[in-house]
Amino acid sequence: MRVISGTAKGVRLYCPEGLDVRPTADRIKESIFNILQLYIPGAVVLDLFSGSGALGIESLSRGAEKAVFVDQSKQSVQFIKKNLMAAKLVDRATVLCMPVKKALEKLDSQFDLIFMDPPYLKGLITPTLEDIGLKNLLKEEGIIVVEHDSKDFLPDTITFFVRYRQKQYGRTTVSFYKRFEER
């Protein structure tokens, strides 16, 4: 697994081993960033359930201003820090080792992009999206990208957000949410 593009292009990313960690496949990551390419430069990014930090690091490499990484696994946090050092992006990153719910309670700024890659089929997506909405963590024109199992049912609208795009890659689906606009 490597950084695909930007200032850290080609840097190898390390990932914790085990069944709990599913690094985003390079083809999925490339597709996500092709869709988001106009939103990345200058963006403030939140990477939830970070794992190796690949999505946040890819964002920083492509010109995001800063990124906050959240994972409750101490091992994952060690890998995120190691990957940030390898990519020379430490100065633009904050890494939090805590459960996502607790981190969302503590965060007090808004984000342009929020990545979520929670453990599959654990029922974490809807409550996390609700918490993001209640805390008003997504900027007005922001986007939430949720990577999930294709069997996971996600509603088209969740409290403050509406799904406006979805792409399936075998067992993995990526759903894109933005703020719900009342007409």
Cα dihedral across residues 12, 63, 24, 76: positive or negative: positive
Predicted TM-score (pTM) of the model is 0.94
Residue 101 belongs to a domain: yes
Three-state DSSP at 55 gives helix
Q: What is the pLDDT of residues 13-54, one digit of tens each?
A: 988 775 455 667 778 889 999 999 999 999 999 999 999 999
pLDDT at residue 143, as a whole number: 98
Residue 108 belongs to a domain: yes
Residue 67 burial (CB count, 10 A) = 28
| Residue 57 amino acid letter | I
- Report how many domains make up the chain: 1
Residue 85 belongs to a domain: yes
CA-based end-to-end distance of the chain: 43
Each residue's pLDDT, cut to its tens digit, for the chain (183 residues) gives 889 999 999 999 988 775 455 667 778 889 999 999 999 999 999 999 999 999 999 999 999 999 999 999 999 999 999 999 999 999 999 999 999 999 999 999 999 999 999 998 999 999 999 999 999 999 999 999 999 999 998 999 988 999 999 999 989 999 999 998 753
Expressed as residue numbers, the domain containing 81 is 26-147+169-179
CATH code of 88's domain: 3.40.50.150
Three-state DSSP at 122 gives coil
Residue 176's closest CA among 34, 70, 51, 54?
34
